[in-house]
């Protein structure tokens, strides 16, 4: 992590703690740090969320545009991820300094959302083969306190949950052109189905064990970390009781750092990741549904960065 | 001149403000823990985050023998405007803004105190609704104060425009995006209201010399009004302690 220096003995202390399943801040190896989440704070975007996980601070905004679907996938919409590392986080990100990290995270998110079982792009279709919605998911990293990938995936899911796409009627005109009619009512919009949207879980290998949600200090002690993308559980996000308990499918994997892992450790780590992702998804769903209900009942004023 | 549209027959502006009325200002110092100083400022729907790092040792090539190097970066989030931007920074407009920011802040920072050092000031516009530069300057001033960097006085920026009411010129303070887009003149002034010095002045479109003084004095009055509000916030912030200590996570 940027600008962080730890001595040998400090590192040893962290490694021993992980070995005994008791980390330096009192968590067990499967515990996340407390998070703060707020949705709907950017007026210029169709959906937005701000997530603060310990010292990691992110702002995600979703903007929509009308686009032409690609010829080989005429009935699918598009989604594009864009990460911007603000220099506010660390002076190293000044100019083009954060580009490498940004592209890495954006590609990982793109890969995780690629599968039709992870995110249903059919819901973005307006007129098959002619017009579709394109979602621009812009992720702004404002402060780095470790565990960026997990935080990004959580904030993206929250922002997509908050996104409202205007209802559009498409009529095929003469000559194959499509005429779009937008409703006059600004409340005439539909919500996205994000139940299956994947979450990324970073598993940091420290000593022989893996921990989730590493702090910046723990990240600097580990030689290798695995990032797994696990699809969400749709039953958490809907009121229907009879939905089968699906989800928990494994949609992407990536490795970071100079070290290597044994196949057995890999298997254990993936299983640990699936368990962590399911718990995380449940907690996220609860928080988001709560926030939506509150928004409907009383128009709460947004705190944003003023809190 | 597109003047008449900007003021209603009752003398109110498009968003219901009076000609000499500012937009609502809300701000907070010490938003983040990692930078040495940070601030968040909202002026109406324009929202800006500023962070200050330093003073720290300057890079060999940049370092100056007798004063500090002030390094500014202005960046606009891709979702900050109505239409999505492709690049947050590096385009001509942001580079120009970075230079203007540096110009205004250099006027206030006591640069002679830190030779061979560097101060980094990063500004991130989260939402732009007119006067993004002014809000950036004001937020940067707050961040500098939060970082404890000695400044001569508050640098405050404010815009002013000119409208017509019953054939009489009426200057407008703190111009919003709609008024900017209407095509009238926009005068941007960054000044130190307590000394009356002007650090930067910039104008778009043309303005008759006869009206320059009235528009300038309206902008300067706007700076003074903003200073009063920001000064109050700084004093309140300092009274309650530097930053919340429970924010920091240490091992």
Q: Spell out the SS3 assignment of A67-126.
A: ECCCCCCCCCCEEEEEEEECCCCCHHHCCCCCHHHHHHHHHHHHHHHHCCCCCCHHHHEE
Test the B interface: residue of A97, A303, A305, A307 with most B CBs within 10 Å = A305
Q: In B, which residues are within 8 Å of A63 by CB distance? A: 78-79, 84
Q: Is B180 on the interface with A (CB under 8 A)?
A: no
Angle at A16 between CA A13 and CA A19, to 5 degrees: 150
Cα–Cα distance, B204 to B223 (Å, whole number): 19
Predicted confidence at residue B250, as pLDDT, reads 45
Q: Which domains does chain B have, with CATH numbers?
A: 3-247 (3.30.230.70)
Question: What chain A residue is nearest to B80 in terms of C-alpha separation?
Answer: A44
Cα–Cα distance, B120 to B138 (Å, whole number): 16
B131-151 exposure pattern, b = at least 16 Cβ within 10 A, e = fewer: bbbbbbbbbbbbbbbbbebee
In the sheet that B69-76 helps form, which strands lie side by side, from edge to edge? B25-29, B37-43, B46-57, B117-127, B69-76
Q: Is B114 on the interface with A (CB under 8 A)?
A: no
A116 burial level (CB within 10 Å; 0-12, 13-18, 19+): exposed
Q: Do B34 and A84 touch (CB under 8 A)?
A: no
Considering only the beta carbons, identify the residue of B33, B53, B80 that sits closest to A91.
Answer: B53
Confidence of residue A291 (pLDDT cuts 50, 70, 90): confident
Q: How do residues A225-240 score in pLDDT, each as one tens digit?
A: 899 999 988 888 876 6
Q: Is B120 on the interface with A (CB under 8 A)?
A: yes
Q: Do A63 and B26 touch (CB under 8 A)?
A: no
Tokens of A144: 């780095």
Test the B interface: residue of A27, A88, A219 with most B CBs within 10 Å = A88
Considering only the beta carbons, identify the residue of B71, B73, B79 that sits closest to A61.
Answer: B79
Tokens of A169: 């009627």
Strand-strand pairing, B197-204 and B186-192: antiparallel
Considering only the beta carbons, identify the residue of A43, A48, A145 that sits closest to B45.
Answer: A43
Tokens of A69: 């679907």
Q: Is B230 on the interface with A (CB under 8 A)?
A: no
- Using DSSP, state whether B141 is helix, strand or coil: helix
Cα–Cα distance, A78 to A120 (Å, whole number): 10
Predicted confidence at residue A256, as pLDDT, reads 85
Tokens of B203: 């104008």
With an 8 Å Cβ cutoff, the interface of chain A facing chain B consists of 10, 14, 24-25, 33, 42-45, 48, 54-55, 57, 59, 61, 63, 65, 82, 84, 86-91, 94-96, 136, 138, 140, 142-145, 215, 217, 304-306
Q: How do residues A14-31 score in pLDDT, each as one tens digit?
A: 999 999 989 988 888 888
Q: At what angle are helices B132-147 and B92-106 packed, to 10 degrees? A: 50
Alpha helices in A163-230, H assignment, sequence order? 216-221
Cα–Cα distance, A163 to A157 (Å, whole number): 10
Cα–Cα distance, A40 to A62 (Å, whole number): 10
For residue B213, the 8-state DSSP code is H
Test the A interface: residue of B23, B30, B34 with most A CBs within 10 Å = B34
Cα–Cα distance, B147 to B141 (Å, whole number): 10
- Classify the C-alpha dihedral A215-A217-A220-A223 as positive or negative: negative
Q: Is B25 on the interface with A (CB under 8 A)?
A: no
Predicted confidence at residue A246, as pLDDT, reads 66
Ramachandran assignment for A30, one of left (phi > 0), alpha (psi -120 to 50 degrees), beta (any other): alpha
Contacts for B62 with CB less than 8 Å, ≥ 6 apart = B69, B71, B118
Let me know if domain A15-297 sits in CATH 3.40.1350.10.
Answer: no
Asked whether residue A187 carries a pLDDT value surpassing 50, the answer given is: yes
Nearest-Cα distance to chain B for A275, in Å, is 26
Predicted confidence at residue B247, as pLDDT, reads 52
Tokens of A36: 């703060």
Q: In B, which residues are within 8 Å of A140 by CB distance? A: 77, 124, 126
Test the B interface: residue of A11, A86, A145 with most B CBs within 10 Å = A86
Considering only the beta carbons, identify the residue of B31, B71, B89 that sits closest to A305.
Answer: B31
Predicted confidence at residue A174, as pLDDT, reads 81
- What is the Cα gyration radius of chain A? 21
Q: How many CB atoms within 10 Å of residue A87? A: 24
| Residue entry with tokens 């594009």 | A80
Reported as half-sphere exposure (CB side, CA atoms, 13 A), residue B109 has a value of 35
What was the ipTM of the complex prediction?
0.88
Asked whether residue A126 carries a pLDDT value surpassing 60, the answer given is: yes
Mean pLDDT, residues A91-98: 88
Torsion of CA A26, A55, A209, A30, to 10 degrees: 60
A15 burial level (CB within 10 Å; 0-12, 13-18, 19+): middle
pLDDT along chain B (251 residues), means of 10: 71 90 93 92 94 90 90 94 88 93 94 93 94 95 95 95 88 92 90 93 91 94 95 90 52 44
Considering only the beta carbons, identify the residue of B26, B120, B127 that sits closest to A42.
Answer: B127
Q: How do residues A61-88 score in pLDDT, each as one tens digit?
A: 999 999 999 999 899 999 999 999 999 8
Lowest mean pLDDT among A148-152, A181-185, B184-188: A181-185
| Closest to A58 (Cα-Cα) out of A43, A38, A44 | A38
Question: What chain B residue is nearest to A47 in terms of C-alpha separation?
Answer: B79
Mean pLDDT (chain A, rounded): 87
Q: In B, which residues are within 8 Å of A48 by CB distance? A: 79
- Using DSSP, state whether A220 is helix, strand or coil: helix
Q: Is B59 on the interface with A (CB under 8 A)?
A: no
In the sheet that B186-192 helps form, which strands lie side by side, from edge to edge? B168-173, B156-165, B186-192, B197-204
Strand-strand pairing, B46-57 and B117-127: antiparallel
Q: Is B47 on the interface with A (CB under 8 A)?
A: yes
Predicted confidence at residue B95, as pLDDT, reads 93
Confidence of residue A245 (pLDDT cuts 50, 70, 90): low
Q: Is B86 on the interface with A (CB under 8 A)?
A: no
Tokens of B186: 């926009």
Asked whether residue A307 carries a pLDDT value surpassing 90, the answer given is: no
Predicted confidence at residue A247, as pLDDT, reads 65
Residues A100, A141: contact at Cβ < 8 Å?
Answer: no
B201 burial level (CB within 10 Å; 0-12, 13-18, 19+): middle
Residues A203, A209: contact at Cβ < 8 Å?
Answer: no
Test the B interface: residue of A44, A85, A90 with most B CBs within 10 Å = A44
| Distances in whole angstroms, Cα of residue B91 to Cα of each of A81, B75, B85, B95 | 21, 9, 10, 6
Q: Which segments of B34-167 are extended strands (E)? A: 37-43, 46-57, 69-76, 117-127, 156-165
Considering only the beta carbons, identify the residue of B40, B73, B79 that sits closest to A94.
Answer: B73
Question: What chain A residue is nearest to B94 in terms of C-alpha separation?
Answer: A95
Considering only the beta carbons, identify the residue of B73, B80, B128 that sits closest to A87.
Answer: B73
Strand-strand pairing, A131-143 and A78-85: parallel
- Using DSSP, state whether A129 is helix, strand or coil: coil
Question: What chain B residue is nearest to A52 in terms of C-alpha separation?
Answer: B32
């Amino acid at each position: 992590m940027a600008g962080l220096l730890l001595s040998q003995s400090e590192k040893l202390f962290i490694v021993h703690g992980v070995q005994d399943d008791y980390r330096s801040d009192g968590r067990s190896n499967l515990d996340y740090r407390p998070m703060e989440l707020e949705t709907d704070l950017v007026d210029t975007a169709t959906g937005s969320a701000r997530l603060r996980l310990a010292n990691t601070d992110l702002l995600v905004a979703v903007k929509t545009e009308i686009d032409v679907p690609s010829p080989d996938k005429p009935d699918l919409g598009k989604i594009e991820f864009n990460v911007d590392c603000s220099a506010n986080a660390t002076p190293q990100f000044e100019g083009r300094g954060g580009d490498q990290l940004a592209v890495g995270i954006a590609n990982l998110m793109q890969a995780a959302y690629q599968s039709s079982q992870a995110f249903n792009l059919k819901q973005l279709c307006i007129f098959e083969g002619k017009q579709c919605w394109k979602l621009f998911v812009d992720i702004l990293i404002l402060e780095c306190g470790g565990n960026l990938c997990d935080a990004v995936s959580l904030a993206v899911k929250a922002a997509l949950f908050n996104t409202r796409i205007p209802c559009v009627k498409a009529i095929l005109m003469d000559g194959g052109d499509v005429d779009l009619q937008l409703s006059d009512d600004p409340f005439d919009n539909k919500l996205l189905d994000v139940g299956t949207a994947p979450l990324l879980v970073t598993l940091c290998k420290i000593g022989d064990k893996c921990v989730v949600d590493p702090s910046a200090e723990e990240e600097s002690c580990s030689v290798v970390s695995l990032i797994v993308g696990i699809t969400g559980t749709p039953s958490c996000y809907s009121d229907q009781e009879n939905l089968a308990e699906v989800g928990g499918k494994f949609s992407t994997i990536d490795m970071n750092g100079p070290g290597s892992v044994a196949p057995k450790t890999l298997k254990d780590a993936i299983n640990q990741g699936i368990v962590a992702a399911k718990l995380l998804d449940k907690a996220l769903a609860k928080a988001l549904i709560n926030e939506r209900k509150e928004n409907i009942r009383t128009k709460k004023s947004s705190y944003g960065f003023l809190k | 001149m597109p003047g008449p549209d900007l003021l209603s027959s009752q003398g109110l502006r498009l968003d219901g403000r009076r000609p000499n009325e500012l937009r609502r200002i809300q701000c907070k110092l010490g938003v983040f823990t990692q930078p040495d100083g940070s601030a968040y400022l909202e002026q109406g729907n324009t929202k800006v985050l500023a962070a200050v790092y330093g003073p720290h040792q300057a890079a060999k090539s940049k370092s100056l023998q007798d004063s500090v190097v002030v390094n500014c970066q202005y960046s606009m989030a891709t979702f900050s405007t109505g239409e999505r931007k492709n690049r947050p920074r590096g385009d001509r407009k942001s580079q120009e803004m970075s230079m203007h920011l540096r110009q205004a802040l250099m006027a206030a920072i006591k640069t002679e105190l830190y030779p061979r050092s560097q101060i980094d000031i990063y500004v991130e516009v989260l939402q732009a609704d007119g006067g993004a530069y002014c809000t950036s300057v004001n937020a940067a001033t707050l961040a500098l104060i939060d970082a404890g960097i000695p400044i001569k006085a508050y640098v405050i920026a404010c815009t002013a425009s000119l409208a017509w009411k019953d054939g009489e010129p009426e200057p407008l303070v703190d111009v919003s995006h709609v008024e900017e887009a209407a095509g009238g003149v926009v005068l941007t002034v960054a000044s130190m209201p307590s000394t009356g010095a002007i650090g930067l002045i910039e104008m778009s479109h043309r303005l008759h010399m006869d009206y320059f003084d009235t528009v300038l004095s309206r902008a300067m009055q706007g700076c003074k009004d903003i200073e009063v509000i920001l000064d109050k916030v700084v004093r309140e912030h300092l009274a309650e302690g530097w930053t919340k200590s429970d924010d920091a996570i240490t091992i």
